[in-house]
Chain A
Amino acid sequence: MKSDRIRKTTPRRTVARKLAPEVPNDIPHVAVAAAPGIEPATYREMLRFMVLTRELEDRIERKLYRQGKIVGGVYVGRGQEAIGVASCIQTEPEDVILPSHRDMGAFLIRGMSPRRILAQYMGRVDGYTRGRDGNMHMGDLDRGVIPFVSMLGDNVPVAAGVGIAFRNRKKPHVVLCYFGDGATSRGDWHEGMNLACVQKAPIVFICNNNQYAYSTPLDFQMAVKNVAQRALAYGIPGEIVDGNDVLAVHEAVRRAIDRARSGFGPTLIECKTFRMTGHSAHDDAGYVPEVLFKEWELKDPISRYRQYLVEHGILRQDEIEAMQTDAVREIDGAVEWAEKSPYPEPEDCLNGVYSEK
């Protein structure tokens, strides 16, 4: 086996380089200029979902939480929207995703609605868990979304099982499994990766490496420099991609999905990004050097992508502005709807622990 299984695509004239020349050297950039085979509609949809994701999460974190309308914790993916969107947009209806807590765009792409998501955050009966669970802990089997639990990395063995089921049943579907850098320290992550790779299950493992696990920076989290290096231990390709470049993520995931659907097993894609907030809404992230926020603000995935689309004549400025207006309007309506949703009946606490069949 070759020792350089960590893919190092020759850097070309990438979106990332063009828009963010100040990317520090220790953040490898392997972005591809423009992903092949992207339909014009997909370019537009990716921006729409990124904008909608940010609007929804901004509303949750910066308004509803501060108004006391969110009853529990709030974890958002500001600055990381490209990852969930560019990956999940490529899924087919029968595919399955296991998102983590900073992948709101993936939930939206699978058709989970902002109004029910907001009801979920507010503990209302119309939330996806009818008030039993909060925030991003939501799923819908009919939409191929399996919710995660707070024990990060637990979704990796479960993803392995979904992938094994697909493979054993001769289904051509793939699994997208998401996690952060911190989750890769958990035993479940390693057990699940190992099993999935031994079984060559059709899975794309997507690491949302935002460089902090709560307050813990990467070098306190792992002795390797890149999460992708962990792929070596499992005999699969590990790829590093600029997680703030939606086209680069799209391209890397496209190849990994092809690989999975063709029976070659999992790929680990490490998306380098940055958490532009605290761990949760109550955390001011005072432990993160201010300079990092400033640096990564320049690499904001939405600004970069907007600029790319305008420069390449894919979307006009006024279309982009209309998209933003539409997102605000949609979330306005969703908030209004969610606030009208009732709380669950207290006695509903007792229902649904076991099957009633």
Chain B
Amino acid sequence: MSQTTYLEAIRQGIWEEMERDERVFILGEDVGRYGGAFKVSAGMLERFGPERVLDTPISESAIVGAAIGAAYMGLRPIAEMQFIDFISCAFDQITNFAAKSRYRWGAGVPIVIRGPSGGGVHGGPFHSQNPEMYFVHTPGLKVVSPSTAYDAKGLIKAAIRDEDPVIYLEHKFLYRRVKEELPAEDYIVPIGKAAIRRPGTGMTVLTYGAMVYLALEAAAELVKEGIDLEVIDLRSLLPLDKETVLESVKKNSKVFILHEDTRTGGIAGEISAVICEEVFEYLDGPVLRITAPDTPVPYSPPLEEFFLPKVSDVMNTARRLASY
């Protein structure tokens, strides 16, 4: 069996859903003839035709708005943001039209909005962002962020089949760096379920996206120091798998949260609040955060390296927590 990259897994997932369900179609900038800026939709125009692989003008708001309209008519649109940074242009359609639709008048909006997020590739302030919290803060949306090829495929399929709008954040740093053998048969990864990537009994780190690998790398080192880290990959940020998170905290009594998103208003703060509200009496230390600083994502390598959380940050935080 061959190894499938994270990128190819997304493509396969979309492809298989388009084969399975003729209502599924994609729209976005350069997705058709060009096959997408990262080639996620390569070959789809040839296979499915221009009516199901729609090249659009540079109009993120219209892309999402049109996806909403098509969804009302019974279709299952997948809207690509060429870089997820551009999702800000469609903010209004997502948060006001799509997210509130079911609540206001009972009309669900089964759309997927997907695109490459995250830093580490010198994309600078407009090609590196992690916009998850704008949407995690919006009732009516779902937000997922896969870290493995298996999850990338399983979550895109789950998102396409979901009855509500799903923001699917793929990490561009992982596109070709992560690969694994995938099952031949159809599968989904349910939205709202976290995965324990490394069981551990010392303390818990909650993370997602590319940061999962940072946590695993740190865990491999920390075990030498006698710190047994449990690494939980959230996978789904909204809804959050509180059950898995809280069970782990109750078991290990120490927890920190690691994300590439900036600090203030990042999901670490939210999760920390949930932990304090619900399992405070189990805690043996403070709920700590490792995040990017509150700045835009800088371009120049030394600046970006400073910006992104590092393995050493994880190790230092774990050591600090171990001292409690």
Proximity string of chain A (117-141) to chain B, C-beta cutoff 8 Å, 1 when within and 0 when not: 0000000000011001100011111
Across-interface contacts of B106 in A (CB, < 8 A): 352
Q: Are B103 and A146 within 8 A (Cβ)?
A: no
Q: How far is the CB of B318 from chain A (nearest CB, A)?
A: 36
Contacts of B140 in A (CB 8 A): 353-354
In the complex, whether B190 has a CB less than 8 A from a CB of chain A is: no
Q: Which of A54-62, A189-197, A281-289 participates in binding chain B?
A: A189-197
Count of interface residues, chain A, beta-carbon cutoff 8 Å: 42
Q: Does A27 contact B (CB under 8 A)?
A: no
| A147 contacts across to B, CB distance below 8 A | 104-105
Chain B proximity of A186: nearest CB distance (Å): 9
- A88 located at the interface, meaning its Cβ lies under 8 Å from any Cβ of chain B in the complex: no
B61 contact set on A, CB distance < 8 A: 157, 187-188, 191-192
Give the shortest distance, in Å, between B170 (CB) and chain A (any CB).
23
Binds B, one of A161-169, A260-268, A314-322: A161-169
**B315 in the interface (beta carbon within 8 A):** no
A357 touches B70 (CB 8 A): no
Size category of the binding interface on chain B: 35 or more
**Residues of the B chain whose Cβ atoms lie less than 8 Å from the Cβ of A129:** 104-105
| Contact partner, B70, options A138, A139, A165, Cβ 8 Å | A165
- A136-172 residues at the B interface, CB under 8 angstroms: 137-141, 146-147, 149-151, 154, 156-166, 168-169
Q: Which residue of A lies closest to B104 (CB)?
A: A133
A residues 178-214 near B (Cβ < 8 Å) are 187-188, 191-192, 194-195, 198-199
The answer to whether A162 touches B164, judged by C-beta atoms less than 8 angstroms apart, is: no
Q: Is A25 an interface residue (CB 8 A)?
A: no
A3 lies within 8 A of chain B by Cβ: no
B150 contacts A by Cβ under 8 Å = no
Contact yes or no, A160 B65, CB < 8 A? yes
Q: Is the CB of A192 within 8 A of B92?
A: no
The CA-CA distance from A161 to B56 in the complex, in Å, is 12
CB atoms of A161 and B139 under 8 A apart: no
Interface: A10 (CB within 8 A):
no
Asked whether A355 is an interface residue with its Cβ less than 8 Å from the other chain, the reply is yes
Give the residues from 130 to 184 in chain B that come closer than 8 angstroms, CB to CB, to chain A: 139-140, 142, 162-164
Q: Quick one: given A191-B59, A191-B61, A195-B59, are A164 and B66 in contact (CB under 8 Å)?
A: yes
Residues from chain A with a CB closer than 8 A to the CB of B67 are: 161
Given A151-B96, A158-B69, are A191 and B25 neighbors across the interface (CB < 8 Å)? no
In the complex, chain B residues whose CB is within 8 Å of the CB of A137:
104
A187 and B92 CA atoms in complex are apart in Å by: 11
Check if B45 is an interface residue, CB within 8 A of chain A.
no
CA distance A141 to B72 in the complex (A): 8
Q: A132 to B100: give the CA distance in the assembly, Å.
A: 10
Judging by beta carbons under 8 Å apart, are B97 and A158 in contact?
A: yes
* Contact of A149 with B73 in the complex, beta carbons under 8 Å: no
Closest approach, in angstroms, between the C-beta of A266 and any C-beta of chain B? 13
| Chain A CB within 8 A of B68 CB | yes
Residues in B41-56 with C-beta less than 8 Å from chain A = 51-52, 54, 56
**Residues 92 to 149 of chain B near chain A (Cβ within 8 Å):** 92-93, 96-97, 100, 102-108, 139-140, 142
A352/B72 in contact, CB under 8 A:
no
Q: Does B226 contact A (CB under 8 A)?
A: no
B57 & A157 in contact (Cβ 8 Å cutoff): no
A159 proximity list for chain B (CB < 8 A): 69
B245 within 8 A of A: no
Instruction: Tell me if B212 is interfacial: C-beta within 8 Å of chain A.
Output: no
- Chain B positions within 8 Å of A139 at CB level: 105, 107
Chain A contacts for B163, CB-based, 8 A: 354-355, 357
B287 to chain A, nearest CB (A): 27
Interface centre among A157, A195, A354 (most CB of B within 10 A): A157
Given contacts A158-B65, A161-B67, A162-B70, contact A195 B104 (CB under 8 A): no
| A195, B59: Cα distance in complex, Å | 8
B161 → chain A closest CB, angstroms: 10
B residues less than 8 Å from A96 (CB atoms):
72-73
Check A168/B52 contact, CB under 8 A, given A133-B104, A161-B70, A191-B57.
yes
Further pairs besides A157-B65, A165-B74, A355-B163: 4, Cβ < 8 Å: A141-B107, A154-B92, A195-B59, A354-B164
7 pairs from A and B in contact (CB 8 Å cutoff)? A96-B73, A139-B105, A161-B70, A192-B65, A192-B66, A353-B140, A354-B163
Residues of B within 8 A of A (CB): 25, 51-52, 54, 56-57, 59, 61-75, 77, 92-93, 96-97, 100, 102-108, 139-140, 142, 162-164
Chain A: residues with CB nearer than 8 A to chain B?
96, 128-129, 132-133, 137-141, 146-147, 149-151, 154, 156-166, 168-169, 187-188, 191-192, 194-195, 198-199, 352-355, 357
